[in-house]
Amino acid sequence: MYPNLVKRILYPAHEKLVNRPTFSYLAELEKTQWLPREAIERMQMEKLRMLLQIANDHSPWHAERIRAAGINLEANRQLAFDDLRRLPTMNKADASANRERIVWRNVPGGAFRYNTGGSSGQPLIFYFGKKRQAADAASRMRARRWWKVEVGEPEIFLWGAPVELNKTDLVKKIRDRLFNQLLLNAFEMSEARMNDYLKVIQSFNPACIYGYASSLSLLASYAKRRNRIPRLPRLRVVCTTGEPLFPQQRAIIEEVFDKPVSNEYGCRDGGLVALESPQNQMLVNSENLIVEILDDDGTPVAPGKIGEVVITNLYSDAQPFIRYRTGDIARQTDDSCRSGRGLHVITEIMGRSTDFVVRPDGTIMHALAVIYVLRAIEGVHEFKIVQPSTNRIEVMVVPNSEWQENAKDAIRTQMQSRMGQDVDIEIAVVDKIPPEASGKYRYVVSHVPLPEKLEIRS
């Protein structure tokens, strides 16, 4: 499809049809990014007051906390960051246990149910509205423009699929092609499939490739070892997401695709937080979120120090995430954007990483392929998945009050649909999941080595 037709007619018409203000917000973001930092922070405070007012009116759980903190929400009063910090932080357990007292189901445009990816081992069911959808989409479009990739230009996604792995929605497939987007399944990374993917990428000639850091680096490693280096004259950037991007992964992706890598940081529940600029800075979507980096006591850390990423999504009206502890670790900085934008900067995001799992037929699957099964099961508070061999998967589940015994059958059925019918799925319901010997928590652990020729080396 002609990119200008997609940019000017098809994509805007679609967003208008579904009542999402994506393109009007994109136009706004193109201007606000150049405001001075102080002006952006004043804008944050205005949006914070509106979010707190929504939470006070429609989310009883938040309303109690706002009242207890003594925050004055009068329209003629300007809020300050100190007001926000009077509120206690919230975490995933709070969002899950109190969901029905947080969600505003009658939010304009509707509240849409969603699940977190569960890579933290604690899946979360939550709701978001169309303002949040538009804010995330527009922010990603703006960041693509930093790399000279315009809306409507061809883009390939090396991405996951829902639980019904091979049942991609036909309507979505047609819509993707109309928007010059093409999905390649990151949960099917056999050598034969990766060979096909390289052919498709070559033929599609995208301006941008987007996908999981580990899956893209695995594909790049395969291409290098098979001497199948693609030639993509239109390509300008490869965007990675979903997990930490390690230096050796960046190096192999940039070597094979001959273009820079732009990393993305966000979380499904909290929102799209920051994206990497051509000046190698992680710029926060400051118009959408307030980002704090706090120590264990909840105190902001000094520049240069590391702490937990805590976010307030200013467009989370359907289910407000206010001072939400992500569990991710980052380093604080007082840097400014090197191109003159007023957006905040964060550095050295040390989020959680996941492994691959391997099917008996040798197909390599991103760990999210099995994580997606657990995140869709009601009653799972926490989990850990271990693959000791290709024909065995061990699942530990810490249940919550919604757990039903027949959930074991659902887990086993869906796991076997992904890993193979002959794979033995052992499920244990436990009170607590212990950490690794290192003291760290890993929620998907595979002891099956990748074929040597597919290992990613620095």
| Ordered structural domains, the chain, with CATH | 356-454 (3.30.300.30)
Q: What is the pLDDT of residue 453?
A: 46
Q: Is 170 exposed, middle or buried (0-12, 13-18, 19+ CB in 10 A)?
A: exposed
Report residue 250 CA to chain centroid gap.
Answer: 18
What 3-state class would DSSP assign to 48?
helix
**Which residues have C-beta within 8 Å of that of residue 419, sequence separation ≥ 6?**
357, 359, 360, 365, 370, 393, 425
Q: Which letter does DSSP use for residue 122 in this model?
A: -
What pTM value is reported for the model?
A: 0.80
Kindly report, residue by residue over 45-89, the tens digit of the pLDDT.
999 999 999 999 999 999 999 999 999 998 778 899 999 999 999
Kindly report, residue by residue over 93-119, the tens digit of the pLDDT.
899 899 999 999 999 999 999 877 555
Kindly report, residue by residue over 421-433, the tens digit of the pLDDT.
999 999 999 998 8
The string of DSSP codes covering 182-213 is EEEETT---HHHHHHHHHHHHHH--SEEEEEH
Kindly report, residue by residue over 265-322, the tens digit of the pLDDT.
998 888 999 999 999 999 999 999 999 999 888 899 999 988 899 999 999 999 999 9
Residue 193 phi/psi, 5° resolution? -70, -40
